[in-house]
Amino acid sequence: MQEITYLEIPNPNTDEVCQWLQKDWTPLTGKKKITPDGVRLQVIADVSQASVGDRELSIFVWSVQQTTYLKIFRWGNQPFPSQNNVCRHLEDEIKKAFPQQYPQLPELNPSAASIFEALEPYYPKTVHFFRKMPQGDTDLQRVYWWEKRWREGVKTPQQPKQVIFQQNQPCEPSTITYDLIYVGGALGVIHAAVMAQLGYRVLLVERLVFGRMNREWNISRSEFQSLIDLGLFTIDEFESIIAKEYVDGFNKFFDGNNPSHLKADVLHTPKVLNIAIDTTKFLQLCGNKLKQAGGEIWERTEFIKGKIDPDGVTVSLIDLETTDTKEVRGRLLIDAMGTASPIAWQLNGKRTFDSVCPTVGAIIEGIDSEVWDHQYGDVLNSHGDISRGRQLIWELFPGEGDELTFYLFHYHQVHPDNPGSLLEMYEDFFNILPEYRRCDLEKLTWKKPTFGYIPGHFSVGKSDRKVAFDRLLAIGDAASLQSPLIFTGFGSLVRNLDKLTHLLDFCLKQDLLKAENLNQIKAYQSNIAVTWLFSKGMMVPTGKILPPQRINAMLNTFFGLLADSPPEVADTFIKDKTTWLMFTRLALKAARKNPALLLWIWEMAGNKDLIRWLGSYFEFSGDSFKNLFFSSWFSKLLKQVPDELQQRYPGLWLRLLSFQRSLTPSR
């Protein structure tokens, strides 16, 4: 018996595929014999042949992850007549009968009594389980709103809505009420609290009720230390917001269909994302510190537009409770609105995001300890191959008490025909969670949904992404400079917060608020930028069909190398602290272990992106040599430069400070 074909069929109705195979498909040759899960294709007997009974094809289908898969095995030692043509013909007929279809967002029925009633015909499982959550109707409305806004931005990238306007004349009257106006209260409040403690007048604007997150955050102790070093938190306060600290984290990708040399051991990462943050306590604590330092928080207030003039920025807002509009003036506007930010879309147009991870999940209680030990987490896990054009990946983190936070996501190409769907992912989440972790969904306690679009930008160099305009700066997910592997804007912001706050402090003191100055303040790291090719290799390009096991084979190639390396190698790499030498060694080892890897990446990325990636690698190489040459003496030299230099040439001094900060690796 020999496997000769393995296909993914993008149809969740396996019975429909099986019936088509049994009744509608006409093979080029051979006689079909019905089996419970498919057909046997037998050679038609010929009297001139002594024996044909030992030659046949067994074709069967099965279902995993809301997807149908098909395999063909050959029985016997002799090839089946026209075997290659028969298999190719079947594959072509399957593509015609079951083409790849990308989900569309349904329009809400205006006569529906609730969001549940409006979406139930399309997403029955999602509606059923959101009904079980404390604020399920509100949260489901947020899911729908976020997907709708994301889709609109992806489908019309050439005509982003203009929300930032520039005028050459100062505003009359030009009364500045705030130094900094933040729009977006999740990541925004962390940065805002630090700046308020430095003495700046700060306003934080939040569209939702402040402090409620639709994503949970995990981090390591060493990374969180930067917030303690900045004085934002004490050690005791940090301990008070820890919901859970797990013993070990696992990384394992399905390898049931990989050849033996591409199977991998479990990669243990006990110090990666092992601290689960209680986001409610964390945000409330940041909010309290902001207010104690004189800052203000306006919740249930939505950003409408900003008008920039030589003296400041005027921000137009609407109170969602009263529908009243109002305007506020500040020296600088900070965009922390995340992936749905209309400011980010206006700044970067078609290059706003190159990739995205549509992410869904929930905080759940009630999973039996025999199914999962709450002392452990899944950092990255897959339990199947490509599913309807996506390689689904799970994350599981222990939370407070016996809570578990689940995420299901996939790396996705931003494409107008296929923007990526949260609601479709949620329907899959509720259907396939019992496959991933053996559990009865009806017996679980559903505490809260977790969802969002986590963006990625394929940087070639530090200046190919706009994060600033005159008197405007983007941070966090809106800046889209985080790791393309596992970290969101939270990890990027925390690791770079010291750099971001000190450079911004200098700019505000010196009134260096032009775009050319503010663009020096970004969380760019060339050692992160070079890894975007990994995320490219984890996404199925829109319109393409890949061998189902392809992405798992690529992941097992690389993570298998990390599993075979000393623990500090994996810890360094996954925490985005990799060096040029470490990265290059791992890449060469991966190419030797799996020579087909380069061909696979070329097939998925294409010539253009491979050339772009070479630019990223050369930038990384240049930065590595720059660090090697300057890091031992440049900071000492700056301390010896007279203070008059920064007073006479503040723009030059900002560049020197930015250069100095780039020499200091993030935590």
Does residue 32 lie in a domain region?
A: yes
pLDDT at residue 529, rounded to an integer: 76
Q: In what order do the strands lie in the sheet with 56-64?
A: 2-9, 67-75, 56-64, 38-42, 31-35
In whole angstroms, what is the distance from residue 630 CA to residue 632 CA? 6
Is residue 48's pLDDT more than 70? no
| Total-model pTM | 0.87
Query: pLDDT tens, 353-391?
Result: 778 899 999 999 999 888 888 899 999 999 999 999 999
Does residue 45 lie in a domain region?
A: yes
Region 99-109: mean pLDDT is 91
Task: Report residue 75's pLDDT band, with 50, 70 and 90 as the boundaries.
Answer: confident
Instruction: Give the 3-state secondary structure of residue 445.
Output: strand
Query: pLDDT tens, 590-647?
Result: 999 999 998 898 888 888 888 888 888 998 999 899 988 998 899 888 888 888 888 8
Which residue range forms the structural domain that includes residue 29?
2-97
**CB-CB contact of 590 with 557 (8 Å):** yes
Does residue 11 lie in a domain region?
A: yes
pLDDT at residue 50, rounded to an integer: 44
Task: Report residue 480's pLDDT band, with 50, 70 and 90 as the boundaries.
Answer: low
Does residue 80 lie in a domain region?
A: yes
Is residue 667's pLDDT more than 50? no
The enclosing domain of 40 has a CATH number of 3.30.310.50
One-letter identity of residue 110 = P
Does residue 51 lie in a domain region?
A: yes
In this predicted structure, which of 224-238, 343-357, 424-438 has the lowest mean pLDDT? 343-357
Task: Report residue 666's pLDDT band, with 50, 70 and 90 as the boundaries.
Answer: very low
In whole angstroms, what is the distance from residue 287 CA to residue 280 CA? 10
Task: Let me know the angle formed at the C-alpha of 272 by 266 and 273, rounded to the nearest 5 degrees.
Answer: 115
Does residue 251 lie in a domain region?
A: no
More confident: 484 or 192:
192
Does residue 238 lie in a domain region?
A: no
Does residue 624 lie in a domain region?
A: no
Mean pLDDT over all residues of the chain? 89
Question: What does the DSSP assignment read for 561-580?
Answer: HHHHS-HHHHHHHHTT---H
**Structural domains in the chain (count):** 1
Query: pLDDT tens, 499-532?
Result: 899 999 999 999 999 999 999 888 777 877 788 7
